[in-house]
Amino acid sequence: GENVEQHPSTLSVQEGDSAVIKCTYSDSASNYFPWYKQELGKGPQLIIDIRSNVGEKKDQRIAVTLNKTAKHFSLHITETQPEDSAVYFCAASTQGGSEKLVFGKGTKLTVNP
């Protein structure tokens, strides 16, 4: 089945710097790759997603890139702010019957003021 690896597990940056989180997946049939932000005591919140027919997508300070050949995708946050501090999860969709998401183990991002 699908396996998603996420790195790094923790990331600390200074306010205003950029942050990059990387994920790899194993199933070449996966075609949807969302990123979620989870704050303490809350459920995951979708922040950006990309489908396999697109190589890059940007939404203000957040961008995601996808390399289907290498089976990896990355989240880029520019001009980080303290409120960006949270745990970020990447995920890949699987097919075969019902669709479901397979998540990475998460990256705890800390933005220091």
Partner 1 sequence: ETGVTQSPTHLIKTRGQQVTLRCSSQSGHNTVSWYQQALGQGPQFIFQYYREEENGRGNFPPRFSGLQFPNYSSELNVNALELDDSALYLCASSLANRVYGYTFGSGTRLTVV
Which residues are at the interface with partner 1 (CB under 8 A)? 4, 6, 32, 34, 36, 41-46, 49, 89, 91, 93, 97-106
Name the residue nearer to partner 1 (CB basis): 63 or 87: 87
CB of 81 to partner 1, least distance (A): 23
User: What is the smallest separation between the CB atom of 75 and partner 1, expressed in angstroms?
Assistant: 14
Estimate to the nearest angstrom the gap between the alpha carbon of 74 and the chain centroid. Answer: 6
Beta strands in 52-85 (DSSP E): 56-59, 62-67, 72-77
| Spatial separation of the C-alpha atoms in residues 18 and 24, rounded to whole Å | 20
The DSSP letter of residue 60 is: T
**Closest approach of Cβ 92 to partner 1, in Å?**
10
